[in-house]
Amino acid sequence: MTSLGEKSEDISISVNILIKEEDGMYVAHCLELDVVAVSKTPDQAQREVISLICAQVDYAFSNNNLNNLYHPAPPEVWTEFFKCKEQIARKYKLQSGFKKSIESILPPWLIANTCQPGKLCHV
């Protein structure tokens, strides 16, 4: 078991991402943080939202501001995500861009469960 202040490779933060096409663009929406990225391709939208998520998590942990980290997306977005029959899970290494103190605990992994209606699942 990992004690507080001790890092472990098993620590992670899991998020759910819905990717959908709107007006010829792809929108990637992180449901737990209500973070959105838009791009011309679904892969680029996913990369951009992952980058935004990592930056937000890094900032929150590095500045001891966890109370403001989670802002859930509206219920209709969650409903659309959970209509998916299949999600793809990917693991990303979190690396801090901020100067961290000894007390700072940044989880080493971000696990993203992604659903893309029409491609990965049937909504």
Which residues, 6+ apart, have CB-to-CB distance to 89 below 8 Å?
A: 111, 112, 113, 114
Total-model pTM: 0.78
59: nearest Cα among 33, 96, 30: 96
Residue 94's pLDDT band (cuts 50, 70, 90): confident
Count the domains in the chain: 1
Specify if 6 maps to a domain: no
Residue 3's pLDDT band (cuts 50, 70, 90): very low
Specify if 1 maps to a domain: no
Specify if 122 maps to a domain: no
CATH (domain of 63): 3.30.160
Specify if 99 maps to a domain: yes
What pLDDT is recorded for position 11? 77
Q: CB atoms < 10 A from the CB of 19, how many?
A: 24
Higher pLDDT, 86 or 51: 51
Specify if 72 maps to a domain: yes
Phi-psi label, residue 35: left if phi above 0, alpha if psi -120 to 50, beta otherwise: beta
pLDDT beyond 90 at 103: no
What pLDDT is recorded for position 123? 40
Domain coverage including residue 86: 12-115
Which residues, 6+ apart, have CB-to-CB distance to 63 below 8 Å?
A: 98
Specify if 120 maps to a domain: no
pLDDT mean over 28-36: 96
pLDDT beyond 90 at 108: no
Specify if 5 maps to a domain: no
Specify if 2 maps to a domain: no
pLDDT beyond 60 at 1: no
Beta carbons of 66 and 20 less than 8 angstroms apart? no
92: nearest Cα among 116, 117, 61, 57: 57
